[in-house]
């Protein structure tokens, strides 16, 4: 326990004043807005140019920037401008709940502090309202996806958009190959770790008022493979995959291996589990994670270039269960990746839909007759979810059929989750998780 606290104290040591951090956030937001660049890139460049800022300062500045992006449209509407300064001021009121006098005290024009509030800014802080704002502004969402979001959420649209604009909790999945959830909770008791509301695999770690949590990636228990950082929704999707010991399982879009590790833990390393990904670069983190966790997973990394071959060709028609954690727009993760929604374009959605059709068709060739396909996205858009499943069913000519996803594996989930035409949809407002979609299919012939 002493080691963990010592690490947290070191990484949290403040150097900059709160006002100086706000100035930095304004500078970074201006960069993001002007150049339409990913927030992570802008934050990294700022950190390289300001090496005197401690890790605690950089984390606090990142929290301000991401909160600004969460409320980018609504903050700009209230303040009457879409600049880094206007978005930051509006965010401090709308997202962090600060009153005008408190905000004014941070904008005092002192050394490294932002310039004092203007009379117009003070007036807007006191009188500005979202009462007459368009739905996409009040809900901080790109206008072009609003019809899809309305189709997904119906009358709950406003509530779901508000939930997607809040900060995500900090969840971990306990590695059952190493220990029980109870033992992990005891080991992390000084962090306040408590069981996740729905997932029997998880613990939730409290975060500070600014959304920052402890440095879990340097925690001794993490380094020993005792847990992985994973949203509760992703844990639930792994459970709903229904993996069983004795099966041959393929994680077709494994990426960094989060769900592959979860499946190995759920089956007690009792399944033959193969993980691959079309992009070999995305697989890079899986090897260290496997070493740390003790999970037994066969990783098949495709070659690039003209010599590229299908690394799963020998498995066609033999696999018991295929997990398709498909590439998607990530609309269900806006809580933790708020800049992604502002970089989303109609062409991006079309590209993802095409990729989803490709991986679904590949999965259909892998599964044996009577075998199971589990299609997962972290999207809330029907085009990527039910419509993608409908597309596979139509292309299969009846060889693939939709079946109900078994919700009984997670007690209490059935009452919380939203059912769609082909699957089930998690969401921040209903399940308190990221927006994961899960659909189950079987090969009939």
Cβ-contact 89, 107 below 8 angstroms: yes
Is residue 166 very low, low, confident or very high in pLDDT (cuts 50, 70, 90)?
very high
pLDDT at 303 (0 to 100): 86
- Mean pLDDT (the chain) is 94
User: Of 68, 96, 127, which closes a domain?
Assistant: 127
Q: Do both 204 and 86 map to the same domain?
A: no
Three-state DSSP state, 182? helix
Q: Are residues 313 and 261 in the same domain?
A: yes
DSSP annotation of 278: S
Print the domain residue range for 378: 232-443
Same-domain status, 205 and 348: no
Residue ending a domain, choose from 92, 127, 162 = 127
- Whether residues 297 and 189 share a domain: the answer is no
- Residue 27 shares a structural domain with residue 74: yes
The answer to whether the beta carbons of residues 188 and 173 sit under 8 Å apart is no
Mean pLDDT of 256-281: 97
Q: What is the CATH number of the domain that holds 87?
A: 1.10.940
**295, 323 Cβ separation under 8 angstroms:** no
Is residue 158 a part of any domain in this protein? no
Task: Confirm whether 56 is domain-assigned.
Answer: yes
In angstroms and rounded to an integer, the radius of gyration of the C-alpha atoms of the chain is 23
Crossing angle of the two packed helices 18-35 and 55-70, in degrees rounded to 10 = 50
pLDDT at 12 exceeding the cut of 60: no
SS3 state at 366: helix
- % of the chain at pLDDT higher than 90: 91
Cα–Cα distance, 370 to 153 (Å, whole number): 33
Instruction: Specify whether 322 is located in the same domain as 422.
Output: yes
The confidence score (pLDDT) of residue 304 equals: 76
Based on the fold, state whether residues 175 and 281 are members of the same structural domain.
no
Kindly state the tokens that stand for 204: 């939730």
Catalytic residue among 378, 430, 438, 439: 378
Q: Using one digit for the tens of pLDDT, what is the confidence trace for 167-215?
A: 999 999 999 999 999 999 999 999 999 999 999 999 999 998 878 889 8
Distance CA 298, CA 441 (A): 24
277: annotated binding-site residue? yes
The pLDDT value recorded for residue 211 is: 82
Q: Indicate whether 97 and 59 sit together in one domain.
A: yes
Q: In total, how many domains does the chain have?
A: 3
394: helix, strand or coil? helix
User: Same domain for 221 and 286?
Assistant: no
Asked whether residue 141 is domain-assigned, the answer is no
* In a shared domain, residues 183 and 76: no
Does 269 reside within a domain? yes
* Residue 346 in domain: yes
* Mean pLDDT confidence for 423-444: 97
In this structure, what CATH number is given to the domain that contains residue 314? Answer: 3.40.50.150
Whether residue 245 lies inside any domain: the answer is: yes
378 annotated active-site: yes
- Per-residue pLDDT at 9: 38
Please identify, among 189, 207, 229, the residue that sits at the C-terminal boundary of a domain.
229
121 burial level (CB within 10 Å; 0-12, 13-18, 19+): buried
Model confidence at 66: pLDDT above 90: yes
H or E element at residue 419 = strand 418-419
325 carries a ligand binding annotation: yes
**Do 217 and 313 belong together in one domain?**
no
H or E element, residue 185: helix 181-187
Q: Count the neighbouring beta carbons within 10 Å of the beta carbon of residue 40.
A: 13
Domain presence at residue 154: no
Q: Are residues 103 and 175 in the same domain?
A: no
Q: Could you tell me the sign of the dihedral formed by the alpha carbons of 141, 142, 148, 154, in that order?
A: positive
pLDDT of residue 433: 97
Binning the chain into helix, strand and coil, the percentages to the nearest 5 are 50, 15, 40
Weakest mean pLDDT among 40-44, 52-56, 117-121, 284-288: 52-56
Whose tokens are 């401690």? That residue is 54
Q: Is residue 134 part of a domain?
A: no
pLDDT band of residue 306 (cuts 50, 70, 90) is: low
DSSP-derived secondary structure letter, 416 = T
């Amino acid at each position: 326990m002493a080691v963990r606290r010592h690490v947290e104290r070191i990484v949290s040591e403040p150097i900059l004043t709160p006002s100086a951090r706000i100035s930095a956030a304004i500078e970074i937001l201006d960069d993001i807005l002007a150049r339409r660049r990913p927030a992570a890139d802008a934050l990294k460049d700022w950190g390289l140019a300001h090496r005197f800022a401690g890790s605690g300062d950089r984390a606090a500045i990142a929290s301000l920037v991401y909160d600004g992006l969460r409320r980018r449209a609504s903050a700009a509407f209230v303040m009457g401008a879409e600049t880094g300064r206007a978005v930051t001021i509006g965010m401090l009121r709308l997202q962090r709940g600060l009153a005008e006098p408190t905000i004014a005290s941070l904008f005092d024009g002192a050394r490294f502090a932002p310039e004092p509030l203007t009379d117009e800014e003070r007036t807007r802080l006191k009188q500005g309202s979202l009462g007459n704002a368009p739905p996409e502004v009040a809900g901080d969402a790109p206008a072009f996806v609003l019809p899809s979001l309305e189709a997904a959420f119906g009358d709950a649209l406003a509530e779901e958009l508000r939930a997607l604009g809040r900060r995500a909790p900090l969840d971990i999945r306990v590695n059952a190959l190493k220990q029980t959830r109870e033992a992990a909770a005891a080991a992390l008791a000084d962090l306040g770790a408590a069981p996740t509301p729905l997932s029997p695999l998880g613990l939730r770690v409290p975060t500070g008022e600014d959304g920052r949590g402890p440095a879990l990636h340097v925690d001794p228990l993490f380094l020993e493979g005792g847990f992985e950082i994973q949203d509760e929704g992703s844990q639930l999707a792994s459970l709903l995959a229904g993996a069983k010991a004795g099966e041959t399982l393929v994680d077709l879009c494994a990426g960094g291996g989060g769900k592959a590790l979860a499946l190995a833990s759920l089956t007690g390393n009792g399944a033959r589990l193969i993980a691959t990904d079309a992009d070999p670069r995305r697989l890079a983190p899986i090897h260290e994670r496997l070493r740390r966790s003790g999970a037994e997973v066969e990783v098949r990394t495709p070659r690039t270039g003209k010599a590229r071959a299908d690394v799963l060709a020998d498995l066609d028609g033999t696999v018991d269960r295929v997990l398709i954690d498909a590439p998607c727009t990530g609309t269900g993760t806006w809580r933790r990746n708020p800049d992604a929604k502002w970089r989303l374009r109609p062409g991006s959605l079309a590209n993802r839909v095409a990729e989803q059709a490709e991986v679904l068709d590949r999965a259909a060739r892998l599964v044996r007759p009577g075998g199971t396909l589990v299609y997962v996205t972290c999207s809330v858009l029907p085009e990527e979810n039910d419509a993608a499943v409908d597309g596979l069913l139509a292309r299969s000519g009846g060889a693939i059929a939709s079946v109900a996803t078994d919700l009984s594996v997670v007690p209490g989930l059935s009452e919380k989750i939203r059912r769609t035409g082909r699957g089930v949809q998690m969401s921040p407002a209903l399940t308190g998780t990221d927006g994961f979609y899960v659909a189950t299919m079987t090969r009939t012939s």
